Amino acid sequence: MFDFEKLTVYQKAKFFNKQIYQFIKDSGQLDRPTKDQLRRASFSVMLNVAEGTSRFSVADRRNFYVISRGSVFECVAIIDFLKDERLISKELQADFYKQAEELSKMLFAMIRL
């Protein structure tokens, strides 16, 4: 097992990514660019956490966690847009927002270390 697989933030990012993928798969109304961007951004959250753990210096690790947190914000912005366009239910939007907020806080704590 790799170290990143033991991290709670990685497990939560993986779950968030799986839920985003399922939403994209189930939604027939999203255009291709929006689907692709949301898919890449949600995947980036977990991938940057994983890659950050492979770095030896604190500064290098922190950089990947900053990028991961930025991808969380990108997901939230896309989901906010989808809410305004009525392409996502209020309940699902609220669930994604809650998960993203938790990820953001966890990553912020890792960045501050």
The CA-atom distances, in angstroms, between 4 and each of 12, 34, 37, 66, 87 are 12, 29, 24, 16, 34
How many helices (DSSP H) and strands (DSSP E) are in the chain? 4, 0
Band of pLDDT at residue 13, cut at 50, 70 and 90: very high
| pLDDT at residue 19, rounded to an integer | 98
Share above pLDDT 70 across residues of the chain, in percent, rounded to a whole number: 100
Q: Is residue 81 part of a domain?
A: yes
| pLDDT of 1 strictly over 90 | no
Here the CATH number for the domain that contains residue 70 is 1.20.1440.60
Q: 41: closest CA among 87, 92, 80?
A: 80
The predicted model scores a pTM of: 0.94
- Total number of domains in the chain: 1
Q: Is residue 98 part of a domain?
A: yes
| pLDDT of 67 strictly over 90 | yes
